[in-house]
Amino acid sequence: MVEARVGGGDVFLAVWLPGTSLPGGGRLLLFPIMRALFPGSFDPVTQGHRDVLRRAALLFDEVVVCVMCNSNKTGRFPIRERLDRLRAAATDLSNVTVDSHTGGLLVDYCRRVGIDVVIRGVRGVADLDYEMPMARTNYELAGVETFFIAADPTLAHISSTLVTAMSQQGRVPNDDVSALRPAGGGGSEAGEGQVR
């Protein structure tokens, strides 16, 4: 099995099956490799982000999680730290890579790296109302589809904005969001509740 680029740069998994279908005595099968982009500011990275990333990694062959940088905004955490936290969150996900993009539109990044699916986590109707116009625009500009992943109900109330606000009030020491999770909603995984 090898990766092969065919036509307009699409990536396929090429599998050679011995047999008699081709003059050379076998068949060549091409399977498209499903690649997706999970973009965000990730300022800070939350358990909700981590959950969406893990679930996306199960659904797609490759996932690029990308810190999208807006030069007009100053983030709470430096980009390098956000990238490190995302790498830590993806340590056991072999099909996930971490990147950043400064300047330009999300679709510009998608075109550059050959991705045509964007992953977005949604916590409720308000998130969906916010995301739909962007999803339509990304499709109209570059044919980029948006794949929505519903938030885990035990994490749906957590947002980067909430973590930042609570931390600024001293209510979330070291960005540990476990106190923001509902009773009984904790996982057994080591480090559960830590913002990564």
Residue 164: name the closest of 83, 43, 52, 40 by CA: 43
Among 118, 99, 124, CA closest to 60: 118
User: Which residue among 49, 50, 85, 101 is the active-site one?
Assistant: 49
Amino acid type, 50: R
Q: Among residues 101, 160, 167, 196, which one is catalytic?
A: 160
Q: Collapse the DSSP code of 52 into the 3-class scheme (helix H, G, I; strand E, B; otherwise coil) and give the result.
A: helix
Annotated active-site residue in 55, 111, 123, 181: 123
Q: Is 80 part of the annotated catalytic residue set? A: no
Catalytic option among 71, 73, 94, 188: 73
81 is in an annotated binding site: no
Is 160 tagged catalytic? yes
Q: How many other CB atoms are there within 10 angstroms of residue 2's CB atom?
A: 8
State yes or no: is 73 an active-site residue: yes
41 is in an annotated binding site: yes
Q: How many CB atoms lie within 10 A of CB 138?
A: 19
DSSP symbol at 26: E
Is 71 annotated in a binding site? The answer is no
Q: Is 106 annotated as a binding residue?
A: yes
42 among the known binding-site residues? yes
73 belongs to an annotated ligand binding site: yes
- The full DSSP string for 108-142 is HHHHHHT--EEEEEE-SHHHHHHHHHHHHHHHHHH
Q: Tell me whether residue 145 is annotated as binding.
A: no
Residue 91 marked in a binding site? no
Is 58 a known ligand-binding residue? no
Per the annotation, the verdict on 101 as an active-site residue is no
- Tell me which residues are annotated as active site: 49, 73, 123, 160
Q: Which residues fall in the annotated binding site for ATP?
A: 41-42, 49, 121-123, 131, 155-161
Q: Which residues fall in the annotated binding site for substrate?
A: 41, 73, 106, 120
Q: Which residues fall in the annotated binding site?
A: 41-42, 49, 73, 106, 120-123, 131, 155-161
